[in-house]
Amino acid sequence: MNDPLYSKEVLRLAAAAKGAGRLPEPRLSGSAHNPACGDRATVDLRLEDGRIAALAHDTKACVLAQASASILADALPTLDRGAVSALRAAVAGMLQGEARCESFAALADAARFPSRHRCVLLPIDAALKAFEAAEPGSQGS
């Protein structure tokens, strides 16, 4: 395959499936769905002092969403909700051609395909929904 959208690096990330699975008895879970293609991602989080201490994802999606979820598993530990929101903004900006987001650089070629932006953002959106599921004052420990 000679399509930069599915580069060897993207395929490697998707195949690595870092963080794939579910946390036992997750304290926080969030799901995101792309109705255009049927992709779905669920992210489980365990927080300590408001920061991500553990995460896992169940991603039933295309290669781009799977690669994004694998990158996310490396990017999220120790982040708080604000940092995850900032990460989402940085990735969305990269997809709009505004600036490079180093941690998601392998997916930069998706910028040329607006219909695929949602695929890249899906796991991040699921992580943000997990934070939204937290009860006020909960640390999710």
Q: Using one digit for the tens of pLDDT, what is the confidence trace for 37-70?
A: 999 999 999 999 999 999 999 999 999 999 999 9
- DSSP-derived letter for residue 135 is P
pLDDT for the residue 110: 95
Q: Judge whether 59 lies within some domain.
A: yes
What would the two tokens of residue 133 be?
Answer: 């599921």
Q: Where are the alpha helices (DSSP H) in 1-141?
A: 8-16, 63-75, 81-95, 117-132
- What does the radius of gyration of the chain's CA atoms come to, in whole angstroms? 14
Q: How far is CA 7 from CA 18, 85, 114, in A?
A: 18, 27, 18
Number of domains in the chain: 1
Longest dimension (CA), the chain: 49
Q: Judge whether 136 lies within some domain.
A: no
Q: Name the pTM for this structure.
A: 0.90
Q: Judge whether 139 lies within some domain.
A: no
Distance CA 138, CA 52 (A): 13
User: What's phi and psi for 23, nearest 5 deg?
Assistant: -75, 140
Domain that holds residue 16: 4-130
Q: Judge whether 141 lies within some domain.
A: no
**CATH assignment of the domain containing 58:** 3.90.1010.10
Q: How far is CA 88 from CA 1, 6, 18, 66, 126, in A?
A: 29, 21, 19, 16, 11
- Please determine, for residue 140, whether its predicted confidence score (pLDDT) is greater than 50: no
Q: Judge whether 140 lies within some domain.
A: no
